[in-house]
Amino acid sequence: MDCRKYQFWRAVRPFSFTVALCACLTGIAAAWAAGFVDPARAVLVVVGGVLLQAGVNLINDYADLTQLRTHNGTGYLAMQLIRRNFQAGLSCFALAAMLALYLIALVGLPLLWLCLVGLAGALSYTLDPVNYKNRGLGVVLVFWLMGVLMVSGSYLVIAGSFSLTVVWQSVPISLLVSLLLLSNELRDYEADQRDGIGTLSGRIGYRRACQLYVVLLLAAYASVGLLWYYGLLVQCWPLLLTLPALISPLKLLGAEADARSKLTPHTGRLLTLFGLIYCYCLVVAVPGVPSWTPLSLFSG
């Protein structure tokens, strides 16, 4: 057994922090575009989001304890690492909860209910009796929990109220958050099949999961166009700059299992690039933010 995947740095999966960063920054950018600015709260939102993401990652392997045997040294070491990571994950949740309580005192009870839903979803990702990852629901639920909910919650902290507009504006990022999780399932497809983990990809098959990957990509870009068409986004053309970042992950879908290990990091880079440019598209109408046009790229 290879215990390296249970080492802390691998277990915490720092590349996935892009999910929390992009989701929180999208909510903050939407609040800025609506005229609400609070740098201190914005920093706390980002820190809390990253802590929550780290906590989810660190408890992710806890279900593996039931599959490990303790009669050999390697299995025992793996169990020790998993338990250590689980405790670290709970510590991350505790720190996030402390930040949340402070923000709830500032914002009010609506944020409390939102945080409780988010915490329940985070703990239920791989823990029994829910374990919705093993029920094939991970890709669907992270759309809401790490996408819509986190973007809307970040906006709520800064603006002090909910906004249906922000829910719609969260859709492109939420689709790419689901895409990142799907890329993780595709990367680990053979291992999950061998270990009997019932992810969505394992249930529908690798080929259909690849087709879903492409559909989510197309839906993310199409949703941006719709937001612009209905006036919920001032600009959308800068996101065309992210199209070259699609080439590598799409190629990796057809790669062998070993080469496919790069699929998730490359998808994460796409999410990061898309997320940052999308935030710019949200705030481009704010006074003082420079507006760029395609022609300006070629002008002196």
Domains and CATH numbers, the chain: 8-283 (1.10.600)
Q: What is the pLDDT of residue 66?
A: 66
Q: Look up residue 65 and give its DSSP letter.
A: G
For residue 300, pLDDT over 50 is answered with no
CA distance 19 to 17: 5
> 2 vs 209, which has greater pLDDT?
209
Of 42-51, 82-91, 99-108, 129-138, the one with minimum mean pLDDT is: 129-138
Please say if the pLDDT value at position 63 is more than 80. no
Structure tokens at 43: 């920093």
Q: Within 10 Å of residue 258's Cβ, how many Cβ atoms?
A: 7
Higher-pLDDT residue of 60, 243: 243
DSSP class of residue 71 equals: S
Residue 263 confidence (pLDDT) above 90: yes
Q: What is the pLDDT of residue 298?
A: 47
Q: Is the pLDDT assigned to residue 198 strictly greater than 80?
A: yes
Q: How far is CA 148 from the centre of its chain?
A: 10
Q: According to the model, what pLDDT value does residue 1 have?
A: 52
The pTM for the full model equals: 0.91
* pLDDT band per the 50, 70, 90 thresholds, residue 243: very high
Mean pLDDT of the chain: 89
User: What is the mean pLDDT of the segment spanning 195-224?
Assistant: 94
Q: In percent, how much of the chain has pLDDT > 90?
A: 67
pLDDT at 192 > cutoff 90 = no
Measure the CA dihedral 192/142/231/229, to 10°.
20
Confidence at residue 71, expressed as pLDDT on a 0 to 100 scale: 47
**CA distances in angstroms from 155 to 35, 47, 230, 255, listed in the order given:** 11, 15, 20, 39
| Residue percentage of the chain with pLDDT more than 70 | 92
Mean pLDDT within 253-281: 94
pLDDT score, position 289 = 79
Q: Which residue, 170, 186, 238, is CA-closest to 19?
A: 170
